[in-house]
Amino acid sequence: MSLRQIISTHRLAGWVSGSLLALGATFALVAHGTAETAVAIPAPAMDEPAPSGATSETAVLSGGCFWGVQAVFQHVKGVHRVVSGYSGGAKDTASYQQVSTGRTGHAESVEVTFDPRLVSYGTILQVYFSVAHNPTELNRQGPDTGTQYRSAVFAANDAQKEVAEAYVAQLDKAGVFAHPIVTKISPLTAFYPAEDYHQDYATRHPENPYIAFNDLPKVDNLSRLFPALYTPKAKLVSAGTTN
């Protein structure tokens, strides 16, 4: 069980103490060294064509703990809604307790609903590869390990698949990362929303050392590297769909 799973399970049970969280933060620092740093990367050379009347599109992405990935995209202009959940496995095993075993085939994922007139799918991927996670880590992100934390793009259609594959090839050829990208691009079969207590977690628990150390820096990196895309107010699941 990862540090994050321990914190989440204990918080759900209602008996996480401040001392345990402080100990967890120290463990994360020792185990991983520093929080992931963002990498400035070029925009995708290939993107989806301009939409003809469409006002909504979804992207399903996995990149480690869904708390932090959700938090990043909740601050992106043009994004309507971001839901934490599970993709890659069956409906009957789409629960946190089962996914956390790493044996269900699921990855912790986020479903990003966005307006393609305001932010393109390619730009969503640029944020994903640059800020939301490290695409060169295999079956892990930061202090969390297991296939449920893998880097994965679940393409909703052929256009998304082509854009994602071309972008990975572009970034690898440019050598913007020190190691090859390991992101797996697969067809989207289903997305299952996670339990309510996981939604908007980073915004609701900024004092959690795991969030402060691993996730809030990602939001800061978004504002620094993508100032034109950044919006200070998070679009929360609990607040409903907003622009």
- Strands 191-193 vs 79-87: parallel, antiparallel or unpaired: antiparallel
Q: How far apart are CA 137 and CA 128, in angstroms?
A: 14
- Strands 79-87 vs 107-114: parallel, antiparallel or unpaired: antiparallel
Residues 6+ apart with CB under 8 A from 79: 73, 112, 113, 114, 115, 119, 124, 235
Pick the closest to residue 77 from 114, 44, 40 (CA basis).
114
Q: How far apart are CA 132 and CA 167, in angstroms?
A: 16
The pair of structure tokens assigned to 68 is 């932090």
Given the residues 65, 83, 94, 153, the one annotated as active site = 65
Distances (CA, A) of 60 to 16, 107, 185, 188, 189: 31, 11, 11, 8, 10
Active site residue 65: yes
Q: How far apart are CA 190 and CA 96, in angstroms?
A: 16
- Strands 151-155 vs 184-187: parallel, antiparallel or unpaired: parallel
Q: How far apart are CA 163 and CA 155, in angstroms?
A: 9
- Catalytic residue annotation: 65
